[in-house]
Chain A
Amino acid sequence: MEPLKGFTCLLLCQSLGEVAARLLGVPLPGPVIGLLLLLALLQWPAVRAPVEAAATPLLHHLSLLFVPVGVGVVVHLGVIAQYGLRMAVALVLSTWVGLAVTALVLKALWPSAGSEALQDAELSEPAHAVVAAKGLER
């Protein structure tokens, strides 16, 4: 029952987000407003267990959700044939620039990340998640 309650909660937040985006003209995509609403709702302890039960499996299989859009590449084969190499250069280089800039900024401003972060992960992560993740690593 918990995952179902949680999923209903996610959809309600998203729906309210869409309403806010369209009716009130909030300049954010509906799901993003939904994210902010849910963040506010999580202050309330009763919603936490259902939301965790729905959000965890959904986010665990997040990469599956990108497959249908990715297959949409077949529709754009014309543009890709025409500009493919240039688009690939722009995509690959900009991704590396983004990764490198983020990582180097953090490395400079948060030099102790490697040592201390693990401890606070173990404190704030539910125990079963840490155990499961450690199992996965082997």
Chain B
Amino acid sequence: MSAFVELWVYLSATPLFGLTATLLAYVLASLIYERVGRAPWANPVLWSVVSLALLLKLAAIDYPVYFSGAQFIHFLLGPAVVALAWPLWQRRAALRQRAGVLLLAALMGGLAAGGSAVGLAWMLGLPIEVVASLAPKSVTAPVAMGLAEQIGGIPALAAVFSVLTGLIGAVTAKLLFDLLRIDAPAIRGFAIGTASHGVGAARAWQVHPEAGAYAALALSLQVLLAALLLPMLARL
């Protein structure tokens, strides 16, 4: 028994643990997601995060220990943001043809999402660092972290808000669009990419290729717009 405890203590402290646990949780959550017909509530990111968070709490493993392994996955977010150039390039014809409309929708959607988050948080009396961490929430996590830091938020909290925003979009957007009678996959995809970035876009991609392509386009536009405008707006 004590040999087993020692082995566990050793293994849970190596980077191997965080990396393996993350992949295992995600692969299992994805299998279940497939099994239930890709129902939005079964979102694999949601259940991976919940199960890993429970595991860390129950096994009393500190987040930095977990992150020493998970960082290898986290690292890929940077190159993934650069890789967004590819869907933008692929959609350049649509973008050029409809640049005005798409930019306007991206700008208004981004301002509405960020503005209402900040407004609500402020009205509800949340502390100023939390409010500043909410502002870049519709931008993909790695960029949100950098932006939050620039405008006086807490980067780690901004990243969590960003992931939660992605999950809210991925889980509830279908219902909202059905209520508003938004049927066109291109519009659904573009809206989900604007308001709930990568996690939402991944969901859109699985549901419909057209929606996925527009979600990727919207997500990259949102990164550019927020990176350009947010520091300027924060100064006002």
Contacts and interface: CB of A to CB of B under 8 A. Distances in A.
Interface in A25-56: 27-32, 34-39, 42, 48, 51-52, 54-56
B172 A96 contact: yes
How big is the A interface, by class?
A: 35 or more
Given A31-B143, A32-B227, A106-B101, A70 B120 contact: no
Interface string A73-110: 11110010001001101111111111111111111011
Given A10-B82, A94-B137, A100-B176, A73 B73 contact: no
Contacts of B93: 120, 124
Contact of B52 (A71, A83, A117): A71
Contacts of B67: 68, 72
B53 A71 contact: yes
Task: Tell me the interface secondary structure of chain B in the complex.
Answer: helix
B205 interface: yes
A61 to B, nearest CB: 8
Nearest to B206: A136
B128 interface: no
Task: Tell me the interface secondary structure of chain A in the complex.
Answer: helix
Contacts of B177: 99, 103
Interface residues of B, number: 120
A67 interface: yes
Given A28-B227, A94-B137, A66 B199 contact: yes
Given A51-B86, A58-B80, A102 B176 contact: no
Contacts of B25: 67
Given A68-B74, A97-B112, A133-B212, 9 more contacts: A29-B81, A32-B227, A58-B83, A66-B45, A66-B141, A68-B71, A89-B124, A99-B194, A121-B209
10 contacts: A29-B143, A37-B82, A64-B22, A67-B25, A71-B22, A98-B113, A102-B112, A105-B108, A107-B184, A137-B207
Interface of B: 18, 22-23, 25-26, 44-45, 48-49, 52-53, 56-57, 63, 66-67, 70-71, 73-74, 76-91, 93-94, 98, 101-102, 104-106, 108-110, 112-114, 116-117, 120-121, 124-127, 130, 134, 137-138, 141-143, 146-147, 156-157, 159-169, 172-173, 176-177, 180, 182-188, 190-192, 194-196, 198-199, 201-203, 205-210, 212-214, 216, 218, 220, 223-224, 227-228, 231
